[in-house]
């Protein structure tokens, strides 16, 4: 298990070492990208060498972050992670680092304690919020580049400040970042939440038209197969955000999105509105996450995976599976 350390101890650790690899999870979302790159820029600002590493390509919509970044050449010495709950989420390309992560910065209550040292704040909306607190505790400067990154992670993990995980603290941090740098938040939020390619928008209509509700309308399932991705010419990394679609149906408490990653292997994303702890359901399948947003991998074809999940959820909702 990891040794839990304070924000200040984490800042001191970062200031007293050199040459960092910052690992983030596969299928990177705004918080993984924002926390990884935001911390990387902050470390470079105090003269450290640092690179961000991810098994998967960073989606194009985050170009406003990655265009600020060039990988550096150096002899690697310290491996850290941000927004990573479990080393299994590093993906194949980075799995070799699993046993060598020295510091993990996270906000997942399901963090498996893989790192030597851990800064975990499960009440934080995002890993970006934790990174911000570490930088503040260590009196480390937040540059414009870092500010853009941290705002991005807070905004994406809170669904643009609308999910339950949004706290007064998120608004305070966002406000401080805006105050200091006059962030173009209109443009950032439009890029993050509104603008989609025509293909993606058409793809969403296909997902919506195939969505099904179960358990007396309280549970909605959307499934995306490899064949769908091919037919609609959508890359797997461009499916971020589709997990919010089932949640838009009136009366739905649990929204489930199945994304086929390899033949007969699905990445399952679960969201809940108010009552169900989806991290517990995902944990039954070896996954984890947060109370209102979690994920896991399940093998089988789309129908089999759907049945496995509904069978796990039905008793929690006090229902029999025959209602499926
Ligand atoms: Mn996160």
Give the tens place of pLDDT for each residue, 271-312: 999 999 999 999 999 999 999 999 999 999 999 999 999 999
Please indicate, yes or no, if residue 324 is contained in any of the structural domains: no
Write the CATH number for 28: 3.90.1640.10
Q: Which helix (H) or strand (E) holds 316?
A: helix 302-316
Query: Ligand 1 mean position to 319 CA, how many Å?
Result: 31
Domain's final residue, options 174, 193, 212:
193
For residues 102 and 153, membership in a common domain is answered with yes
* pLDDT tens track for 158-192: 999 999 999 999 999 999 999 999 999 999 999 99
For residues 181 and 229, membership in a common domain is answered with no
For residues 250 and 161, membership in a common domain is answered with no
Query: Ligand 1 mean position to 83 CA, how many Å?
Result: 5
pLDDT above 60 (res 324):
no
Q: Which helix (H) or strand (E) holds 118?
A: strand 117-120
Domain's final residue, options 141, 173, 193:
193
Please indicate, yes or no, if residue 304 is contained in any of the structural domains: yes
Domain's final residue, options 193, 208, 227:
193
Angle, to 10 degrees, between the axis of helix 127-137 and the axis of helix 144-157?
A: 140
pLDDT above 80 (res 323):
no
The residue among 276, 308, 306 whose CA lies nearest residue 291 is: 276
Query: Ligand 1 mean position to 259 CA, how many Å?
Result: 19
The number of helices, as runs of H, and strands, as runs of E, in the chain is: 11, 12
pTM here is 0.92
Indicate the number of domains in the chain: 2
Query: Ligand 1 mean position to 107 CA, how many Å?
Result: 7
For residues 227 and 273, membership in a common domain is answered with yes
Query: Ligand 1 mean position to 82 CA, how many Å?
Result: 9
148, burial (CB in 10 Å: exposed 0-12, middle 13-18, buried 19+):
buried
CA distance 67 to 102: 28
* pLDDT tens track for 88-136: 999 999 999 999 999 999 999 999 999 999 999 999 999 999 999 999 9
For residues 13 and 44, membership in a common domain is answered with yes
Query: Ligand 1 mean position to 275 CA, how many Å?
Result: 20
């Amino acid at each position: 298990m990891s040794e839990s350390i304070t924000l200040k101890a984490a800042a001191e650790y970062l200031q007293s070492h050199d040459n960092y690899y910052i690992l983030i999870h596969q299928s990177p979302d705004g918080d993984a990208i924002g926390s990884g790159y935001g911390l990387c820029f902050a470390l470079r600002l105090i003269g450290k060498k640092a690179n961000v590493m991810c098994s998967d390509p960073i989606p194009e919509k985050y170009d406003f972050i990655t265009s600020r970044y060039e990988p550096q050449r150096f002899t690697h010495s310290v491996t850290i992670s941000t927004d990573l709950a479990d080393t299994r989420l590093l993906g194949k390309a980075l799995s070799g680092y699993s046993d060598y992560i020295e510091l993990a910065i996270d906000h997942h209550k399901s963090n498996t304690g893989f790192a030597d040292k851990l800064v975990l704040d499960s009440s934080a909306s995002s890993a970006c919020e934790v990174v911000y607190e570490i930088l503040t505790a260590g009196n480390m400067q937040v540059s414009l580049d870092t500010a853009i990154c941290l705002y991005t992670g807070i905004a994406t993990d809170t669904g643009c400040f609308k999910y339950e995980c949004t706290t007064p603290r998120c608004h305070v941090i966002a406000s401080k970042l805006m105050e200091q740098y006059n962030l173009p938040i209109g443009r950032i939020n439009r890029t993050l939440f509104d603008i989609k390619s025509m293909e993606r928008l058409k793809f969403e209509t296909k997902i919506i038209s195939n969505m099904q509700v179960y358990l007396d309308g309280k549970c909605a399932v959307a499934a995306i197969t490899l064949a769908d991705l091919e037919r609609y010419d959508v890359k797997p990394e461009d499916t971020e955000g589709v997990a919010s679609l089932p949640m838009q149906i009136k009366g739905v408490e649990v929204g489930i999105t199945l994304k086929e990653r390899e033949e007969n292997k699905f990445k399952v994303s679960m969201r809940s509105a108010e009552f169900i702890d989806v991290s517990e359901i995902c944990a039954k399948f070896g996954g984890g996450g947060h109370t209102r947003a979690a994920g896991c991998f399940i093998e089988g074809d789309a129908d089999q995976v759907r049945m496995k999940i509904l069978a796990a959820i039905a008793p929690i909702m006090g229902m029999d599976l025959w209602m499926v």
